[in-house]
Amino acid sequence: MKRFQRMLESKEMKKIEEQEEEEYVFHEDLFDFPKDPEKWTEQDLRELWADGPLEMTKPGWDPVWADENDWNVIMDEVEDGKDPAIAPFYLPYRKYYPAIPDNHYDISNPKAVIEELDRIEEFLRWVSYIFPDGSSYEGTVWDDLAHGKGVYVAEQGLVRYEGEWLQNNMEGHGVVEVDIPDVEPVPGSMLEAKMRAEGRIIKRDYMTPEDREWLEMDIEDSYKLSGGWREIPFYENDEWVRQFGEKP
């Protein structure tokens, strides 16, 4: 017994035990995503998410549409000494991982979980729509409603949403891109010289040489196709006022 005890307490056995503990993988850890060698963070992706309170029923914190129940949940968090995840802008919450039961035959391992999710997604269809007003949607639908993940581009392409949908509503995690139109001068024009004299930044300045060359060729072709006709920009005519109430 003494020899056996000395063997168990030897340095070699302790090293073996430590190595086995490091290499041991718990059953729950089998469902984790593999480690990212590049160690990307949400800040690197320019996305900001947070873990919402358990009592919160909405997919994120929105100060504009926060109701009394939302504020009560936040105040309860503050009273408990916690730091609730709020911001002066929309802050989406991370989705909770669904509980994996240990007594379910169909989803007893990671591969079975993926297969179960695939069975659920069989009800979704991938479509690409272009609507009469010029807007478009490309993504999954369920019962002719945008559901799952998709990309919506508004008319004239000024607004773009890419993310999760719930029965035609933008709900969940997603990214909204808004392109605010600005005056871009024609290369070599008097307007360009005036804007440069004022120190204005022109979009063409931070384009790659290839993109800049293509843009200039597109402008040249547009002039040739117009045949001398021209149109007042939408931000200088009454259409902008009718849509937004005033000129930018």
Q: Cα dihedral sign for 195, 198, 201, 205?
A: positive
Residue with tokens 């009394």: 68
- In the prediction, which pLDDT does 150 show? 92
Task: For residue 121, give the 3-state DSSP assignment.
Answer: helix
- The neighbour count for residue 170, using CB atoms within 10 Å, is 16
Output b/e per residue, 216-229; b: 16+ Cβ within 10 A: eeeeeeeeeeeeee
- Per-residue tokens: 41: 């963070």
Segments in the chain below pLDDT 50: none
How many CB atoms are closer than 10 A to CB 9?
9
What pLDDT does 20 receive? 85
Q: Which two tokens stand for residue 204?
A: 């063409």
- Could you tell me which residues come within 8 angstroms of residue 134 by beta carbon, excluding any fewer than 6 positions away? 155, 156
Give the tens place of pLDDT for each residue, 156-181.
788 999 988 887 888 877 888 888 77
34: tokens are 């593999």
- In angstroms, rounded to a whole number, what is the distance separating the alpha carbons of residues 124 and 144? 10
Residue 43: the pLDDT is 65
pTM for this prediction: 0.41
